[in-house]
Amino acid sequence: MQAKKFWAVLLAAILIVSCLSGCSSDGGSNAGDSSTAGTTSQAETGGDSQAVDESDPYAAGDFTYPMDGTVTLSINMTPTAEEELPEWVKGHYFWDVIQEKTGVNLEFIGSASSPQETSEAFSLLLTSGEYPDIMQANWITFKGGPAAAINDGYIIPLNDYTEYFPALTALLEENEEYNKMVSMDDGTWFCFPHLKRDESQIGTGFAIRQDFLDQIGEDVPVTIDDWYNVLTKFKNELNLTAPLTFESRWLFLEYATAGLSSPWGVCYPFYMDGDTVKFGPLEEGYKEFVTEMAKWYSEGLIDRDLAAVDKSTVQSKFASGEAGIALQQIRNIQNCIVANEGDPNYKVTGLNTPVMNEGDEPQMSHYTNTFDGGMATSISTQCENIGAAARFLDYAYTEEGSMFETYGEEGFSWDYVDGVPTFKEIITNNPETPDSQAARYFVSNYQNWSIRVIDAMSHLQPETLEIQKTFFAHMEDYAYPTVTYTDEEVDTVSEWNDIDTTCRERILGFILGNEDLSNWDSFIAEVESMGIQDVLAVRQAAYDRYQAR
């Protein structure tokens, strides 16, 4: 009797489980169907309303900014609060002016996504189920990419609404390269992109204390051997505790330390060698790079606290004279210079990417793609007034709008001088902000979707701009473009996270001497066993599709 009951229960359990798993696969495909159905039906209603409502104010050819001010759009952004704005900015703050110029009221709901990755706050926003009309996020780094964002029902594809954003459409149609970058493989446009130009693509590099160099009587180092020589002298003759310093995290941020590994022709993680995708650590050169760095570290040429320092420590070490060479963002280099203003001894020179042999060309450097998904802005599925939203976003790409994004308000922050747009005193010589960062309140730098007329690093002093010029090498030949993946590829791509973690841990361990370099082969074997070849294959396929766009 007991046994019988047991079997009955077991059978029932099996039935339930199989039923559930059956349901689950059904549920999956159904859900997919319904969400695609959702987007199409929305697209249809969009189309309908255009057809029915002849007087659609946003589609009309004679549309002009500003709009009538009746529309309110929500956006996940956190601008500086009104009360925190300095007095001289009030009334001219970028986000206030853009509302005025476009005639749209913005409702800021916070939960901004960071440019590199999906932030915690933003993930919570997604799980809440209530999205703002305009969503700013890096859908490229979002799990599953823009395709998932569309299929999961967060954002809408824009191709059906081109009449609402003529400026961006014209820009992309005229410029093949841009179009290739911001489209998905099937040609779908999913966002109003933020397009960078040279000066903001390469913003990180090495700077050296010129006065230290003078003290030891050396020239600016060019080859990697020169570097070794100079760093050794920094340590021995000047007793620097951290001759070379940078954040260890940067070894594994895309191309952040590419300049350092450039002499060996490799960098972390993926880069292009002609039309082939390569993964740095798998290359022989990378092992040599790590070997050299381990040697430098053990000899005290690299900051002992490499693993623990962060951006601000690096900056303070370079400003205080504990470090001789630092790898930093250009803004932080400027901060160091500003902090030592008035000290005639403190002199900083930019450093070119080192080379292996005298006479070689510097090859790699820090680099971000023209379009990397950061600051890209999309229209959400819950947006009720797509026309107004698109018109609002499109403003940034109009002639007037892009001047505004680049220079701020005409007549306030800039004027034409002999036909050339020129910043006024409030930007160039503002006593309120001695660090000459006044422009950040008035132009769109790092803030939003836009293309700028020039990438005026208006907040940099001429001296710092000179340093930045030394960062440039030929990284555009090596950079892996911003691609998108298919549904099947997404799982393989996410395996990369685990591989990345392993690499960070082991490679840093090798450099710090926690692990002996004789274990390098076992490290490579581990990475291979985690499926790096699959990831490479997917990356290659995505690259090939990108080229075929």
Partner 1 sequence: MPKKQKSSTVRGKGRKQGAIRLDFQKNKAVYFMFLPVVIFYLTFHYYPMSGIILAFKDFKPALGIWGSPFTDEFGFKHFIDFFSSSHAARTITNTILISFYQIIFGFPMPIILAIMLNELRNQKFKKVMQTVTYFPHFISTVVVCGMLTEFCLSDGLFNQISGFFGVEPVSLLSQPKYFRTIYVASGIWQSMGWDSIIYLAAIAGIDTQLYEAASLDGAGRFRKIWHITLPGIKGTIVILFIMQIGKMMSVGSEKILLLYNPSTYSTADVISTYVYRKGLLDQDYSYSTAVNLFNSVINFVLVFLANALSRKLTETSLF
Q: Minimum CB separation from partner 1 for residue 129, in Å?
A: 7
Q: H or E stretch including 94?
A: helix 94-102
Q: Minimum CB separation from partner 1 for residue 236, in Å?
A: 16
How far apart, in Å, are the Cα atoms of 232 and each of 225, 306, 307? 11, 17, 21
- Give the separation between CA 67 and CA 450, rounded to whole angstroms: 19
- Give the separation between CA 415 and CA 341, rounded to whole angstroms: 30
- Give the separation between CA 365 and CA 231, rounded to whole angstroms: 20
Residue closer to partner 1 by CB (options 11, 23) is 23
Q: Minimum CB separation from partner 1 for residue 351, in Å?
A: 24
User: Which 8-state DSSP code applies to residue 307?
Assistant: T
Q: Minimum CB separation from partner 1 for residue 124, in Å?
A: 9
Q: Minimum CB separation from partner 1 for residue 518, in Å?
A: 17
Residue closer to partner 1 by CB (options 24, 64) is 24
- Give the separation between CA 267 and CA 534, rounded to whole angstroms: 19
- The binding site for partner 1 (CB under 8 A) comprises 2, 17, 20-21, 23-25, 27-28, 31, 35, 117-118, 120, 123, 126-127, 129, 143, 152-154, 241, 248-249, 252, 304-308, 494, 497-498, 501-502, 504-505, 508-509, 512, 514, 526
Per-residue tokens: 117: 């990755």
Per-residue tokens: 382: 């819950």
Residue closer to partner 1 by CB (options 154, 397) is 154
Judged by DSSP in three states, 90 sits in coil
Of 96, 107, 64, the C-alpha closest to 391 is 64
Residue closer to partner 1 by CB (options 35, 229) is 35
Residue closer to partner 1 by CB (options 242, 426) is 242
Q: Minimum CB separation from partner 1 for residue 22, in Å?
A: 10
Residue closer to partner 1 by CB (options 8, 308) is 308
Q: In sequence order, which ranges of 204-347 are alpha helices (DSSP H)? A: 210-216, 224-238, 258-261, 284-298, 311-320, 330-339
CA 216 and chain centroid, separation: 39
Q: Minimum CB separation from partner 1 for residue 165, in Å?
A: 25
- Give the separation between CA 162 and CA 486, rounded to whole angstroms: 25
Q: Minimum CB separation from partner 1 for residue 306, in Å?
A: 7
Strands (DSSP E) contained in 165-252 are 194-195, 204-209, 242-245
Residue closer to partner 1 by CB (options 153, 263) is 153
Residue closer to partner 1 by CB (options 248, 262) is 248
How far apart, in Å, are the Cα atoms of 68 and each of 7, 53, 133, 390? 72, 18, 18, 15
With tokens 């107004």, the residue in question is 388
Residue type, 82: E
Residue closer to partner 1 by CB (options 24, 55) is 24
Rounded (10°) CA dihedral 234, 236, 241, 245? 40
Is the distance from CB of 408 to CB of 177 less than 8 angstroms?
no
Residue closer to partner 1 by CB (options 322, 455) is 322
Q: Minimum CB separation from partner 1 for residue 223, in Å?
A: 29
Strands (DSSP E) contained in 441-518 are 450-451
Q: Minimum CB separation from partner 1 for residue 108, in Å?
A: 22
Residue type, 349: T
